[in-house]
Structure 1
Amino acid sequence: MNELDERPKPFLYAVVCAAGVAGDVGKLITMAQDRGWGVGVVATPQGLHFIDGAAVEAQTGYPIRSAWRSPGDPRPLPPADAIAVAPATFNTINKWAAGVSDTLALGILCEAYGLGIPTAVLPYVNSATAAHPAYQESLDRLRGMGVMVSSYEPHPPKAGGGADRFRWEEALELLGPAVDARR
């Protein structure tokens, strides 16, 4: 066995928010697994309603996390080597940038900065919410924290969402070099 074979596979947390494309998170999981990643899903409480939990758990081999565990309970996921927030909603982006940690997903994201975990965000917002000054300020703050932001352009409101333009693979494209540099 050579040195490369002995390295543990990197582990990705896919943080999933309540957005129309969230039901396709299996695409990100498959792409990550095909590249040798282990994957665990952390969903916002509302994000849980947008995904097929049984299918995601079968695909990853791990339970979906959405709530804090009780003291003494084992950690259900390995530590994250990287995090992809996909899809990321207006609400999550603004709370994360402000340091609000009122859900497990946001707690993980806020802590990731201090731990130096490479993090990519794929916003999925409409142009009306993206026009709010807080949104751009939040993206600027996240970039200043080292978060890698996707190139997705907001879709028109009430128009079905632009799911065809949502590039799940961009999360791995953004994270790849950062994870390689840490190894």
Structure 2
Amino acid sequence: MTRTRTLYLIGCAAPPLDRIDTGVRLAREAGWEVCVLLTPAAREWVGDPWELEARAGCPVRWEYGGEEDPLPAPDALLAAPLTVNSLAKWACAMCDNRALLALTEGLGRGLPVVALPYFNDALAAHPAVGRHAAFLRDAGARVLLGEGGFVPHRPRQDDVAAYPWQAAVDALPAPHGGRPGAPH
């Protein structure tokens, strides 16, 4: 019997968060059990976390849990949307919230970690952003920033509908083994 593998979908406070259920749906269709973790700022963006929990089929978390937390351990992590703020904190191992703790521990444990950023090209042009993305890539994360992932937009000219959720899910390993992007 094959065990269902668990994906932590980590959402930050950016406009594509309004469509996180697209990421949940695509990951579930690919065979993942999906648990949603939100940064505290992202929690403020989500109207009813219990509605999202019902769609995900797994508890939604944004605060640190106790010893009896019902979330299964992750087999992979997907940070989408990932803000420039969370990218910087993660690269510096700043675990001031549950979502960043999961990303930092996941990378440290050698789990597959995919990040799909969302920010404008003015933020992307800051020298630290490229260094943080490169650092995380060198540490083993797949940061989908640029062609084939998320291409930063001009300030106030974003297109949330074009956010490449499918590219992020395709970058994950197959939930029952195999290579990233392999047919599920």
Give the TM-score of the pair, scaled to structure 2: 0.89
Change in CA separation of 1:31 and 1:178 when aligned onto 2, cut-off 3 Å: closer
For residues 40-81 of structure 1, what are the alpha-carbon distances to aligned partners after superposition, in whole Å with 9 as ceiling and x for unaligned? 0000000012224122111122221111113x3x12211101
Change in CA separation of 1:9 and 1:138 when aligned onto 2, cut-off 3 Å: same
Aligned counterparts of 1:51 and 1:65: Cα–Cα separation in 2: 12
- Structure 1 residue 21: Cα displacement: 1.0
Secondary structure of 2:44's counterpart equals helix
The code of the aligned residue for 1:180 comes to: G
Q: Which runs of 5+ in 2 are unaligned?
A: 180-184
Contact 1:119 1:147 in 2 (8 A): yes
Over 3 Å off, 4+ runs? none
Q: Which runs of 5+ in 1 are unaligned?
A: 1-5
1:147-162 pair list within 5 angstroms? 147-150=141-144, 151-159=149-157, 161-162=158-159
Of Structure 1 and Structure 2, the greater helix share is in: 1
- Kindly indicate whether residue 7 of structure 2 is the aligned counterpart of residue 7 of structure 1: no
Secondary structure of 2:78's counterpart equals strand
**Structure number with bigger Rg:** 1
Aligned counterparts of 1:13 and 1:177: Cα–Cα separation in 2: 14
* Percent identical: 33
Give the TM-score of the pair, scaled to structure 1: 0.89
The code of the aligned residue for 2:177 comes to: D
Q: Which residue of 2 aligns with 1:115?
A: 109
The code of the aligned residue for 1:155 comes to: H
Q: Aligned-residue CA RMSD in angstroms? A: 1.6
Aligned counterparts of 2:178 and 2:96: Cα–Cα separation in 1: 31
Q: Which residue of 2 aligns with 1:165?
A: 162
Q: Which residue of 2 aligns with 1:138?
A: 132
